[in-house]
Amino acid sequence: MCYGCDEVMAVSTTITHRELRNSSASILRRVQAGETFEVTNNGEPVALLSPMGGERLALLRRRGAVTPRARVDFARLKRATGIASRDALDDLRGER
């Protein structure tokens, strides 16, 4: 079931937690295309991964659970000055 919905969705595919972790990008593309997945952990169903329909998404927006993504023009952002990323990472790695 989904947040605030009484409908039961048909599951087209069952996948393991490991499959979701290792192939999340392709699985999410399939979800976006309309597929629903049941996710199992140690053989037990633990989650239902399904597309966000317009009504469900609107409900979550009204609840404040999700917000529309912001459009950012990264080319217009001011470049940071100071320490180079490589140097910052070297410093962090040295503290381990």
What are the C-alpha distances in Å from 76 to residues 9, 22, 47, 72, 73?
A: 43, 34, 40, 9, 6
| Segment 4-33, tens digit of pLDDT | 444 445 667 999 999 999 999 999 999 989
Please choose, from the candidates 2, 95, 94, 93, the residue with its C-alpha nearest in 3D space to the C-alpha of residue 47: 2
Q: What is the pLDDT of residue 5?
A: 45
Please tell me the class of the 13-94 domain: alpha beta
Beta bridge partners of 48: 38
| Segment 28-62, tens digit of pLDDT | 999 989 899 999 999 999 999 998 878 888 888 88
Summary mean pLDDT of the chain = 83
Please state, in angstroms and rounded to a whole number, the distance separating the CA atoms of residues 12 and 36: 6
Assign 2 a pLDDT band (cuts: 50, 70, 90): very low
* Domain parsing of the chain, residue ranges: 13-94
User: pTM here?
Assistant: 0.51
Residue 71's φ and ψ, nearest 5 degrees, are: -90, 120
